[in-house]
Each structure stands twice: as C-alpha cells, then as structure tokens.
Amino acid sequence: MASPDPPVTSYAPSDVPSGIALLLTIPFAFFLPELIFGFLVWTLVAATHVVFPLLQGWVMYVSITSFLISLMFLLSYLFGFYKIFESWRVLDSLYHGTTGILYMSAAVLQAHATIVSESMDPRIYYINTAASFFAFITTLLYILHAFSIYYH
C-alpha cells in the first residue's frame, strides 16, 4: 500500500524571489514603475484646474485606487503573504489585466480633457498633456505586467 502524499504547507510559486531581488525579476519589476507613473498621473491631474469633473474624476479614481492596490500587492510579495494562497498568480494577472483596461479608459478620458483644455491657460494644457502621457505609459506597464505574470 502506497503512502499518501505529504501535506502541502505552502502554495507559493517556487520561482518568486524574496527581498529586493523581487524588484529585479521581470514580472515583478513592473511594480515600481507602475507606482511611480501612477503617482505622477494623479498628482498632475490634481495640480490642474479640473474642467470636466466627471472625466477627470474617473482618472483620479482609477489612478489612486490602482496605486493603492498595487502598493498592497508589492507589499504582499515583499512580506511573503502570497505564500498562503494557491491561486495568487491568477489573482495577480487578473488584477493587472483589469487595471490595464481601466487605465486605458482613464488615459483616453484624460487625453480628451487635454484636447479640450488646449484653448485655456498653456500651463494647464501642459500639465494635462503630461498627465495623459504618463497615463498611457502606466496603461502599458499594467498590461505588460499582466501578460508577463501570466506567461511566467
């Protein structure tokens, strides 16, 4: 009679590095740029005169919420909380894919707000332009993170 398999004590993927090496590994190296560019998006939008509260309110909601949840994901990887759950990689991929789609909608709305603000003060236009640029860069980072974690 064969003995049963030993109990599984950890569901953690074996190839996830720990500590600062986490930030140098390709799927997880996207965390810091996502946080930095996402922070730039919502600080730039907050620094402008909000012409369309509904449009730029969505941009603020997406960027701040994504910033906070991504920060929680990064901390969970750094502190090893991901080891508890079996489906952590799927959750990470779904979150970043969904956030990439939401950020794309926010980037398009911010680009529209930039086009409309062209006739206003040049300073507001330039800040809106920078926010649009960083929103599209952040969208790309979230999509790359989703695909790289899925195929990793």
* Domain housing 126: 19-151
User: Residues in the chain with pLDDT < 70?
Assistant: 1-14, 19, 152
Assess contact for 119 and 49: CB atoms under 8 A: no
- Note whether 56 and 109 are within 8 A (CB): yes
Count of the separate structural domains present in the chain: 1
Using the structure block, give the residue that is written with the tokens 């012409």: 51
Q: What is the pLDDT of residue 149?
A: 83
The mean pLDDT value of the chain amounts to 86
Q: Is residue 12 part of a domain?
A: no
* Domain membership flag for residue 8: no
Q: Quote the pLDDT of residue 69.
A: 95
In angstroms, how far is the first alpha carbon of the chain from the final one? 38
The pLDDT value given to residue 81:
82
Give the residue carrying structure tokens 């952040």. 138
> Do the domain assignments include residue 4?
no
